[in-house]
Amino acid sequence: MAVHPITTAASILHRSKKLVSKLNRKCNFGGNTGNNGHSSNKNNIQDPDYLCKQGETFLFGRDGEAKDEKKAFEYFQRASLLNHTKSQGLLAFCYEFGLGVEKDFKKAELNYIPSAKSGDGLSQARLAFLRRYGRPSVRIDRAEAEMWQQKVKEQEKDESAAVGWYSAAAAQNHARAQDKLGVCLQLGIGCEKDEESALHYFRLAAEQDHLAAMFHLANALEKGIGCEADPEGAIHWFEKAASAGCRISCDRLKRLLVRECLGHDSSGSIYLSGCYAAAA
């Protein structure tokens, strides 16, 4: 039985539309239809602002989307190819912390530089850090670090954005980001105050021997910030921080030891002198 050519053409057209729709979904550019039923993303795949926003959506799991760091990286990469300054900085951030891509400090540096020169605050801050402390394949240049740090100071602060980036890096078990996030949560900087969560992040970073985090954890345990006061735990972390070279931890440890001695036994000067000796 012969097939009518119009029927065949209609069938091919229908299959083609289904295939195109499937490919669009696979490439993540086929959703978001408008009221007329046509895709509103057709023209957005060359819009760097749109691509950057989509990258942030997947990186943080916003707008009902699940977190997908690999997908976020791909969006930032596409936007960077269109010379989008912010996306280039975010791409560098992904390389630095291994978000959706293998960690690569050299590629992070190469992407931070042009973005920082274009005025991106995140890139300037991260480049200042890399120049000050260095990383594999990244040179140290203290003078340049100071220059970038000065530019950061001239930027308008966006504390909520900083919290978002610290959260993303902290999720990758980056100790410095965990400590910074803990500070933000403890003080309510750029986010709602959450002292218990702050303690959690301080502990994660301290267990990786991050010096500032050891001090922050000890301070919280001593004062009962986000937890019941725990003098023994505070002594442990102050001692670790002091041993690693933190002078303020050494001073706090001495005061805490003396206070604990006074609190447990005030019966005689011999016992008290022993406490002072232990704190020395």
Number of helical H runs and strand E runs in the chain: 14, 0
pLDDT at position 15: 53
Per-residue pLDDT of the chain (280 residues; tens, 9 = 90+): 444 443 444 454 455 445 444 444 444 443 443 444 334 455 577 899 999 999 999 988 888 899 899 999 999 999 999 999 999 999 999 999 899 999 999 999 999 999 999 999 889 988 988 998 888 899 999 999 999 989 888 876 677 778 888 888 888 888 988 998 999 899 888 789 999 999 999 999 999 999 999 999 999 999 999 999 999 999 999 999 999 999 889 999 999 998 888 765 544 443 444 444 444 5
pLDDT at position 198: 95
What pLDDT, in 10s, does the model give residues 146-158? 999 898 888 766 7
Phi–psi pair at 82, nearest 5 degrees: -100, 20
Measured between alpha carbons, how far is 255 from 225 in angstroms, rounded to an integer?
A: 18
pLDDT at position 276: 43
Measured between alpha carbons, how far is 169 from 222 in angstroms, rounded to an integer?
A: 28
pLDDT at position 238: 95
Measured between alpha carbons, how far is 247 from 242 in angstroms, rounded to an integer?
A: 6
pLDDT at position 161: 77
What pLDDT, in 10s, does the model give residues 83-131? 999 999 999 999 998 999 999 999 999 999 999 999 998 899 889 889 9
Q: Which of 16, 28, 35 is nearest to 57 (CA)?
A: 28
pLDDT at position 26: 45
**DSSP-derived secondary structure letter, 138:** B
pLDDT at position 43: 58
Domains, the chain, with CATH or none: 45-156 (1.25.40.10), 158-280 (1.25.40.10)
Using CA atoms, how far residue 45 sits from 40, 86, 99, in Å, is: 10, 17, 22
CB 76 within 8 A of CB 52: yes
Task: Record the tokens describing residue 108, joined without a space.
Answer: 């992070």
